[in-house]
Amino acid sequence: MKREETVKAREQLVRQLPDAAEILRGSLLHRKIFHRRGCPKCRRGEGHRVWVLTVSYPGGRTRQFSISADQKPRVEKWLENYQELRAKLEAICELNHELLRAKP
């Protein structure tokens, strides 16, 4: 790829980046929780279905955030934005590698 084409491809990717304010790293899980006492539904073994955002950190630490049903679409979009941003940043890095190797 010629230098000019590489620069144009990189600029196009930069314009397509999602809003960095609306990104979220982690995994969205649908879990079943059980109350320890006082809940007849839990006593019967049915439990309650909840959405949980799980985020892993270095050192094996994990945090979980309960997500309400009305927050779920926003969380899914932000997770999608994170994956898109990450993929496009990788593509931009590859193009920058090409630019470093290209002769002026």
DSSP per-residue string spanning 32-48 = EE--SSS-HHHHTT--E
pLDDT in tens, 42-97: 989 899 999 999 999 999 999 999 999 999 999 999 999 999 999 999 999 999 99
Mean pLDDT of 15-34: 94
pLDDT at 104: 66
Residues in the chain: 104
How many independent structural domains does the chain possess? Answer: 1
pLDDT at 37: 84
* Containing structural domain, residue 25: 3-101
Q: Among 19-23, 28-32, 35-39, which is the least confidently predicted range?
A: 35-39
